[in-house]
A and B are shown apart, each in its own frame.
Chain A
């Protein structure tokens, strides 16, 4: 596709369940970011990948959160034992970063997670 694709767009789950959120970045983009956005707040950094490796995972709130990007393209954010406080929109963004540092980020539409 032409843009960043995220699935599912909406996920409702019960407290304690396991959830996977998928991000398909723009083809050729080497950098991939995960952010979490709560209502009325800015995107909160979680993790970013350069290729297959996590370049910085300092934003992951705790060990219930984990993300992978095994082939340097699609990424999956995994949340174990979900809690009500995990409810938010999870945004994925990709970047070509040709100039170094963080280039223009192209965001997906997000996955809205609701934990009941």
Chain B
């Protein structure tokens, strides 16, 4: 049931772009994205509820392809503050539990 994230890790220079993918073998109701910095609690980024939905704030956005049961997180013009581990969480149906992937480590270098 755990969603699969790729890549496992990525290193960027400031200003570069990155894409993190999340896929599930089961039909999904929603996809959630969180970022966790070392030694801290995960922090919410966004929820995508509908197939084909795209959301974003600032330079971080995401898409959700309901038919393919996939979501992608897009980080554009990355900043040092984007460094951390990104987790997608998937919910298979309304009111169901949120299951997280293993995470993608993102490191942005100056």
Chain A residues within CB distance 8 Å of chain B = 33, 35, 40-45, 48, 50, 55-56, 58-59, 91, 99-110
Contacts and interface: CB of A to CB of B under 8 A. Distances in A.
B100 A105 contact: no
**Lowest 9 CB-CB distances: which A-B pairs, in order?**
A107-B41, A42-B100, A102-B98, A104-B44, A43-B100, A101-B94, A56-B97, A42-B102, A42-B103
B48 to A, nearest CB: 12
A36 to B, nearest CB: 11
Interface of B: 2, 29-30, 32, 34, 40-44, 47, 49, 87, 89, 91, 94-103
9 contacts: A40-B103, A41-B102, A42-B101, A45-B100, A101-B30, A102-B91, A105-B42, A105-B44, A105-B98
Contacts of B40: 109
B41 A102 contact: no
Given A108-B41, A109-B40, A110-B41, A102 B32 contact: yes
B108 to A, nearest CB: 19
A45 B103 contact: no
A43 B95 contact: no
Contacts of A50: 95
Contacts of B99: 45
Contacts of B98: 33, 45, 102, 105
